[in-house]
Structures are given as structure tokens and as C-alpha cells.
Amino acid sequence: MILDSIVRVSHFFLCPKISEYLFYWHLRQDGCIDFKIKLSGELSTNLLSEGEEKPTHGVMVAPGVNAQIHQHMFCARLDMAVDSHLNTVSEIDVYSEPLGDSNPFGNCFSAKETILENEGGAKRIYDANKARCWKISNAEGKVNGQTGKPVAYKLFPFTHGAAQPTLLTDPSSAVSKKGEFATKNVFVTKHDDKERYPSGEYTVQGSGTNGIPDWTAANRNIQGEDIVLWHAFGVTHVPRPEDFPVMP
């Protein structure tokens, strides 16, 4: 199987900070690819205001010093080509079967696979209770000799060792308008070389246009097409004294 994938990672930070990120790629012998981002750099802090004893939106990391609660949000552009440029993305959920003839002892689990057919229906959020993952399959009839199913790669999103929330700012805020890509964990779009930055070309000065919200508004077909999978993920960071002044 050939996985011809181009990965670009865009960063969207919700609090001023001197950010230093450590990027790690692990190419496993079984064909798995792990990508990890570690946070480093200096925390964003402010002095308490006059008469303020405890911060309401942060943590005291030193006498009189507040470190704001914030989020680090990323988006990986996965230009997929699993054994060809025609691929299909499906969502897989695991569920426990109800008691019955096929499950008399109540110990059976099953996996439900749902094909994502268009861009509008491919705006998805991770669900840890369903062990949710996404599968990118070949759409040209190339099958796995063991399973008889199309050859594929799966995306398993594990952030910071556990599921993390999507963007927490109010939808009416400027942050949410510019960072709408961070309100979901997965988007799928039809391939277009001009569509590269999920929050637009100029995140800070821009309005959030010419990004994922505009591209997916076309609601193009993505089943059996040359597609790009966008994986948005991040960390909600409640600082601790050990993070100050430079995060370990």
C-alpha cells in the first residue's frame, strides 16, 4: 500500500505568548505514523489589577502574577492518496450490542461505519465514548487480501493523552470567526491546491474568510474523490506554577 500524504500544520493560539513548539514524527515499522506536538516557551502572564486578590480567568503562578487560561489549536492538512488519488472517508463508531439472540451474554461489541458523502456532512467531532476514528479508503477497488475491504489508513485522534475540547470561545467572538476550523475535529474537502490555510491567508489581520467555512459552503461531493482531510486538535491549558516562567 502507498500512502502519499502531504501534511501541513497550521497553528492558532488564543492568548499572546512566546510559543516554542516541539514537533515529533514517528514512522513505525508497521506503517503507522505518529505526530506529536509538545508545548514549550514562556507563559503569557499579567500583573493583578489594583484590589484584585485572585484572578478569575487564570492561575497564580508567582506572587502577583496571573497566567491566563488559554487554548492552543492546530490544524493538520492531510492531502491523502491511499493507493491512488481517489479516496473515501468514513467515520467509525464502536457500540455495545443490545441483549438478544446474537448477544445472549451481553459481551458483544460492534463497529458502525458511516461514509462521509459531502463536505457539509463531514464536519465531525471526536467522541471518546464511541472510540471514534476516521478511515480513509481507496476508492478504486484495491482491497486488503485479509479483510476483503478497500485498503485504508485510519486517523486516531488522541490529544494530550485524552480527548480535549474544541474551541471554547463564543461563536459571536472575533476569535471564533477567525478560528472556526477549531470548532470541529475533522473536515473533508475536495482537493484544491489553492486551499491551504484553514483560517485564511492572514489569520491575525484577516476576517476569517477564504478558509474552511467558505470552502465547505460549496458542499462538494467527497466520496471517491481526490480529497483533503483536515484534522483540528489542541490543548486547553490551565497553567500551573511549574509552567512558569518557561514551560517544561
Q: Please, what is the Cα angle at 71 between 215 and 47, to 5 degrees?
A: 135
Position 8 scores a pLDDT of: 54
- What confidence tier does 161 reach under pLDDT thresholds 50, 70, 90? low
The answer to which of 33-47, 127-141, 197-211 has the lowest mean pLDDT is: 197-211
CATH value at residue 189:
2.70.98.20
Structural domain range at position 214? 6-243
What does the mean pLDDT of the chain come to? 89
Q: Is 58 exposed, middle or buried (0-12, 13-18, 19+ CB in 10 A)?
A: buried
**What is the mean pLDDT of the segment spanning 151-175?**
87
Spatial contact of 17 and 95, defined as CB atoms under 8 Å apart: no
56, pLDDT greater than 90:
no
**What is the mean pLDDT of the segment spanning 65-93?**
95
Q: What is the largest CA-CA distance in the chain?
A: 70
In a domain, residue 130? The reply is: yes
- DSSP state, residue 38: E
Burial 89-119 (b: 16+ CB within 10 A, else e): bbbeeeeeeeeeeeeeeeeeeeeeeeebbeb
Spatial contact of 122 and 188, defined as CB atoms under 8 Å apart: yes
In a domain, residue 1? The reply is: no
**How many CB atoms lie under 10 A from the CB of residue 14?**
23
pTM assigned to the model: 0.89
Position 203 scores a pLDDT of: 76
- What confidence tier does 11 reach under pLDDT thresholds 50, 70, 90? low
37, pLDDT greater than 80:
yes
Position 17 scores a pLDDT of: 54
In a domain, residue 248? The reply is: no
Residue 120 CB contacts under 8 Å (≥ 6 apart), including other chains:
216, 219
Element containing residue 175 per DSSP (H, E)? helix 174-178
The answer to which of 5-9, 83-87, 202-206, 224-228 has the lowest mean pLDDT is: 5-9
Task: Give how many domains the chain has, as a whole number.
Answer: 1
In a domain, residue 155? The reply is: yes
